[in-house]
Amino acid sequence: MSETASLRVGLAGAGRVAHALAPHLAAAGHRIVAVVSRHEERAAELARRLPGEALAAGLPADPPVAPVDLPLVDWWFLAVRDEAIAAVDARLDAAGAYAGARLVTHTSGAWSAGVLRRARARGLAVASVHPLFSIAGPAPSSLRGLRFTVEGDEAAAAVIERWLAAAGALARRIRSEDKSLYHAAACIAANYVVALLDAAERLFVRAGLPAEEARAAAAGLARSALENTESLGPVRALTGPIARGDAATVGAHLAALAGAAPDLREIYAALARYTLDLARRQAASGGGADPADLEALAALLQPAPPRGAAGADPAWEGGPS
Ligand SMILES: NC(=O)c1ccc[n+]([C@@H]2O[C@H](COP(=O)([O-])OP(=O)(O)OC[C@H]3O[C@@H](n4cnc5c(N)ncnc54)[C@H](OP(=O)(O)O)[C@@H]3O)[C@@H](O)[C@H]2O)c1
């Protein structure tokens, strides 16, 4: 495929990622010639927003193979939910959609390109291209500076990378066997940050803040921590009672949580243990707490003994009130 090739693209899926990325495939000179989705009306709605005359078709689960007369496609771009990728790959193959195609890609962060078994068995190049940003609201007007992770067969990965480079996006290649670890990292940075902000918001409300103020307070704090972490790195950015080796304050937190939000106590303690490791690294670099205070904290943060085991968890006894 030449550097400047304009490929005929078939989109499978008409959800958030398809809506967000399809205009950028078209802007890079590729022609979207078909949009297929489980529900035909969703495929049609996306096709109407794109330049050209893309054919829109339903790809229902039942009957399993839609009798659709699809145009010739060079690049099948699957943007369907993770659990549907293998089924859609099989359905496209069974419908004859892979005849004449060169590459098939999907956008899952969790799955490798190997999930596209039928495409690979047909000798097509397969790859995954994972947008490393959250797509929930309006589609990005530009991909410039946005990160993507690419994995899979060289021939397919190279086409994706040329597209992303032309769009000004940042592409990073990873190995197939590293995808689960990579995706766990992405979940921590995106999903669990959201979950932690929800927990902070809940506790602010329990502590008497009005709901709308609680959300702004949690988000404002997180924003400043995020900016500091990005510019200084986590070891230097860490502040708070664990960075200071303040066991009395952490003990008081644990006691308050045990009464008001026991489900959050376990999460708090697990994260505190991880944070303690960060505080130790801060101390080792010469800018943090007294190591003896950090060891007192470590004792306080021992995991709770299994239910029914003898002996009390010191953390549940609480600190100063
Ligand atoms: N959203 C994000 O922030 C994000 C970021 C990075 C990567 N991703 C990945 O991108 C992929 C798509 O995510 P999304 O957020 O766009 O999902 P989505 O908005 O839920 O859209 C999923 C699409 O998959 C189609 N689909 C679901 N089951 C199907 C089936 N059995 N057969 C055929 N089509 C089926 C749906 O069709 P109908 O609408 O016709 O029912 C829909 O168009 C996933 O692999 C996801 O992990 C998402």
Contact in structure between 258 and 292 (CB atoms under 8 Å)? no
Protein residue closest via CA to atom 6 of ligand 1: 131
Residue carrying structure tokens 């929930």: 136
CA of 13 to the centre of ligand 1 (A): 6
Contact in structure between 58 and 36 (CB atoms under 8 Å)? yes
Q: Number of C-alpha atoms within 13 angstroms, CB side, residue 298?
A: 12
Mean pLDDT (the chain, rounded): 91
Is the link from the previous residue into 60 a cis peptide, with omega within 30 of 0?
A: no
CA of 67 to the centre of ligand 1 (A): 22
Per-residue confidence band for 314, with pLDDT thresholds at 50, 70 and 90: very low
CA of 93 to the centre of ligand 1 (A): 19
Enumerate residues lining ligand 1, CB below 6 A. Answer: 13-18, 37-39, 42, 59, 61, 79-82, 84, 87-88, 107-109, 130-131, 134-135
CA of 85 to the centre of ligand 1 (A): 9
Is the link from the previous residue into 63 a cis peptide, with omega within 30 of 0?
A: yes
Statement: residue 195 has pLDDT above 50: yes
Contact in structure between 70 and 143 (CB atoms under 8 Å)? no
Condensed to tens digits (0 to 9), the pLDDT of residues 260-312 reads: 999 999 999 999 999 999 999 999 998 889 999 999 999 999 886 666 654 43
Q: In what order do the strands lie in the sheet with 75-78?
A: 55-58, 31-37, 8-12, 75-78, 103-106, 125-131, 147-152, 170-173
Q: Looking at residues 190-209, what average pLDDT do you find?
A: 96
Query: What percentage of the chain has pLDDT greater than the value 70?
Result: 91
Fold annotation for 8-174: Rossmann fold (3.40.50)
CA of 201 to the centre of ligand 1 (A): 29
Statement: residue 320 has pLDDT above 60: no
Cβ contacts of 5 within 8 Å, gap of 6 or more:
none
Statement: residue 60 has pLDDT above 80: no
Question: In this structure, what are the phi and psi dihedrals at residue 281, rounded to the nearest 5 degrees?
Answer: -65, -35
Region of residue 123 (phi > 0: left; psi between -120 and 50: alpha; otherwise: beta): left
pLDDT value, residue 62? 64
Q: How many residues does the chain have?
A: 321
The SS3 of residue 77 is strand
Count of helix runs (H) and strand runs (E) in the chain: 14, 8
pLDDT value, residue 5? 78
pLDDT value, residue 317? 34
Ligand 1 atom with minimal separation from the 20 CA? 16
The residue whose CB lies within 8 Å of the most ligand 1 atoms, and thus the one to mutate among 11, 38, 68, is: 38
The residue whose CB lies within 8 Å of the most ligand 1 atoms, and thus the one to mutate among 19, 77, 81, 108, is: 81
CA of 41 to the centre of ligand 1 (A): 15
Ligand 1 atom with minimal separation from the 19 CA? 16
DSSP H or E run through 33: strand 31-37
The one-letter amino acid code at 36 reads V
Per-residue confidence band for 18, with pLDDT thresholds at 50, 70 and 90: very high
CA of 283 to the centre of ligand 1 (A): 45
Protein residue closest via CA to atom 36 of ligand 1: 13
CA of 21 to the centre of ligand 1 (A): 12
Protein residue closest via CA to atom 19 of ligand 1: 15
Per-residue confidence band for 77, with pLDDT thresholds at 50, 70 and 90: very high
Ligand 1 atom with minimal separation from the 135 CA? 3
Cα(110)–Cα(178) distance, integer angstroms: 10
pLDDT value, residue 286? 87
The SS3 of residue 50 is coil
CA of 246 to the centre of ligand 1 (A): 46
This prediction's pTM: 0.86
Condensed to tens digits (0 to 9), the pLDDT of residues 298-311 reads: 999 988 666 665 44
DSSP H or E run through 12: strand 8-12
314 vs 280, more confident = 280
Tokens of 262: 């026991």
CA of 312 to the centre of ligand 1 (A): 48
Ligand 1 atom with minimal separation from the 18 CA? 16
Question: In this structure, what are the phi and psi dihedrals at residue 149, rounded to the nearest 5 degrees?
Answer: -120, 130
Between helix 154-167 and helix 16-27 the angle, nearest 10°, is 80
**Which range has the worst mean pLDDT, 20-24, 52-56, 210-214?**
52-56
CB-neighbour burial class of residue 147 (10 A; exposed 0-12, middle 13-18, buried 19+): middle
Protein residue closest via CA to atom 48 of ligand 1: 17
